[in-house]
Amino acid sequence: MLIFATWNVNSLRVRLPLLLAWLNEARPDIVLLQETKVTDDQFPCEEIENLKYNITFYGQKTYNGVAILSKFPIEDITRGLPGFQDDQSRYLEVVTHGIRVASVYVPNGSAVESDKYIYKINFLRRLYSHVKTLLTYDEALVLGGDFNIAPTDQDVYDPHKWHEQILCSTAEREQYRSLVYLGMSDALRASHPLEKELYTWWDYRAGAWQNNCGLRIDHFLLSPQAADHLKEAFVDKTIRGIEKSSDHAPVVCRLDL
């Protein structure tokens, strides 16, 4: 059994003690991190390697940043989304334990129809094209991270309030569905098809966590070769309630591989 996890830590410097404690307790085999917000030379390699993880990362100062930790050797590393000319550290892809694994931090988009929104849609279109290519490799592919998209109204605490707002707009949801239509399976929703309060992010403001006003915007998408082995996926909400936690909770996915 392989345990995968994805977590937007929202600053690795701030969250490092919490991350190390969680890794010790949850013991995932392969971990995808987003919003590390550290340059490569500042990545806390020693502390994480002490937990017997191999590490690769793609960082930048103050913003963005993605990383992959694995109990197994890491090979075939790709930093940056192929074919997308960009200096933002949002995509990291590797092969580990014979599985192609990618950590993605999709742009937030700021506001519908803004320049940042257009950038987000273009990023998602390029991600679609790249995933389409990867699926021709006929291998297990695990794509995880913060997609900054709530796929349906079922993934939003108040669909009326969020109607056509950023994270929930029609164009964003169409881009997410396009990945699913390629044959990628949404691991969390496959494990919990009817659950309505399945959230991964709660704003720091307005008592969102305390009132469970959340959105499901962090996802694992699995190729058929990986989805065939899906045992369960869930949100580890307990860590979100700890003081100085990220506003995201880890998503855990177990594959019988």
Q: Report, as residue numbers or ranges, the catalytic residues.
A: 105, 146
Distance CA(59)–CA(91), nearest Å, equals 10
Whose tokens are 């991350």? That residue is: 19
* Pairing status of strand 30-34 against strand 2-8: parallel
Tokens of 213: 């006003």
- For 93, 154, 157, 231, the CA distances from 195, given in Å and listed in that order, are 30, 8, 12, 17
Whose tokens are 């969390």? That residue is: 188
Provide the 3-class DSSP secondary structure of residue 124.
helix
Please answer whether residues 121 and 175 qualify as being in contact, where contact means their C-beta atoms are separated by less than 8 angstroms.
yes
Query: How many C-beta atoms lie closer than 10 Å to residue 238's C-beta?
Result: 12
